Structure 1
Amino acid sequence: MSIRGGLRSLERLASALPDGAELYRLRPDGRVLRADRAGVRELGPEDPDSGLLRFIDDQQFAHYFIGDAKTSPERPSNATYKLGLVAPHTAFTPHAHGGEHLVLALGPASCGLYDERRRRVVDVELAPGTLIRIPELMPHSFGNRGTDRLAILAANTGYGIDHEDYAITAEVAQQRGETELAAALREVTARQRVGTVSVRERLAHRLHRIAAALEDSR
């Protein structure tokens, strides 16, 4: 990837960093740039050295900042904090986490949540910059409403993506005999809607990209 033009400012900042420090530029088009003293490169599945991990489904990826895929109560780091890259106009397989979950959407997103008290699925439309907090074992599915790759920041208490309780799907819940959880997850699957991007949101996104380009050109 070329680092000329709009990326010169990021390269200048990174060249002055101490060893081990890194900068991440999260762009409005869903691209993520990673910079350190060695230079600037794109963090994406196309780069074999990016260290990205499969994130629940194919086409979705995770990059850990705190903790790792093997984090668990038996191998604790208290919480995990990672960058996720969600493919355009897709949603994760509905699941529930063994621990609390927080997601910050950096683009147009959606989240279907199962309301146990009302026994129905609630669709929540998330604007860029919205953080959603999801309690442990609440069935949900996070989606990307846009046509660009979506960057998200996700924090989980206690579990890395390799742990059996990180993402419990309907199939897994049924195999465990957790029939109520399995039924709730199947309901989220049946009602799942990725959603679309409105004209107003498309205009705001275009302006955001222009602002990002102007910032890069400094």
Structure 2
Amino acid sequence: MRTERHLGEARLSRSMRGVVPELPRGVRLYRLGPDGSVVLADRDGTRDLRPEHDLLRFIDDGQFAHYLVGDAATSPDRPSNATVKLGIVGPRSAFTPHAHGGEHFVLSLGHGACGLYDAERGRVTDVPLVPGELIRIPEMVPHSFANRGTDPLPLLAANTGYGIDHEDYAITAGEAERRAAGAPQAAAPPGRGTDTLARTDYLALAAALRDIERVQRVRGPGVTTVRERLAARLRRLAWGLEGRR
């Protein structure tokens, strides 16, 4: 898999190599390259983040997450206030459209995009993202992140209240349809979910998610512009120069 190959090609900068022996116990230093590579360093040494050791499946096959705060089992019944994780989106790919039980913040470190369903206007809105842009998505807003580039896309994602293993972490169209066909969702079970979840119209949610799916099929994950590709080359050049300090 291309994502795994890129993760395995990570290299330390000279500055990073020099500081690692000085790190206090428990401190971690991450180096995120413009090619999607990630190196983790601590007092015990350095390593590339790899799917078989450090990364969890992130909603879909080929997408990965590495927790910084909380873990996959975080939930309202097992809270850590929020989860913060490093995500890696495969080249030219997108997540299955979904909605989260909690609000969501995502910092893009490359050329990404976010497809969002605008309930007020009844349509799908595409928001292109460039390195350094952070987007906030309220709870239960249907959305999907995509990587417009040809390298793995690192992003930093923070969710309130839910880890990947929780049933309300990522509600897809299929799951929304299943819930709509089951018992009425007039109230959330004790200890589970939020007021927004309790009021959710799952048929409407499923329809919105299907709309995002249709847009994805037609438009794909999107493409980078000539200016963005030039900026990416310059960013790699700068990264290489900084790594030789």
TM-score scaled to structure 1, two decimals? 0.95
Could you tell me which of 214, 225, 228 is aligned with 1:190? 214
Number of equivalent positions: 214
| 2:171 equivalent in structure 1 | 168
- How far the C-alpha of 1:2 sits from its partner, in A, is 8.2
Q: Is the 8 A contact 2:112 2:128 kept in 1?
A: yes
Measure the CA separation in 1 of the matches of 2:231 and 2:149.
13
**CA distances 1:191-210 after superposition (whole Å, capped 9, x unpaired):** 12411011111111111101
Deviations 1:15-72 (A, max 9, x none): 1001111100111111111111222221132xx332x110000000000000000100
**SS class of match (2:175):** helix
The corresponding residue for 1:34 is: 40
Structure 1 residue 7: Cα displacement: 2.6
Shift of 1:101: 0.4
The 3 A distance-change label for structure 1 pair 3 and 92 is closer
Q: Which residue does 2:94 correspond to in 1?
A: 91
Q: Distance in 1 between matches of 2:108 and 2:212?
A: 20
- Aligned partners of 1:11 and 1:39 also within 8 Å: no
Q: Percent identity?
A: 63
CA distance in 2, matches of 1:165, 1:64: 18
Change in Cα spacing, 1:153 to 1:2, as seen in structure 2 (3 Å) is: closer
TM-score, length of structure 2 as denominator length = 0.85
User: Would the alpha carbon gap of residues 29 and 3 (structure 1) be closer, same or farther in structure 2, given more than 3 Å must change?
Assistant: closer
Unaligned runs of 5+ in 2: 1-7, 181-201
Correspondence 1:127 to 2:130: yes
Query: Is contact 1:10-1:40 (8 Å) kept?
Result: no
1:23 counterpart = 2:29: yes
Matched, 1:9 2:26: no
Contact preservation (8 Å) 2:91, 2:150: yes
Which structure is higher in helix share? Answer: 2
- Residue 214 of structure 1 is matched in structure 2 by 241
- Runs of 4 or more, structure 1, over 4 Å off, are 1-4
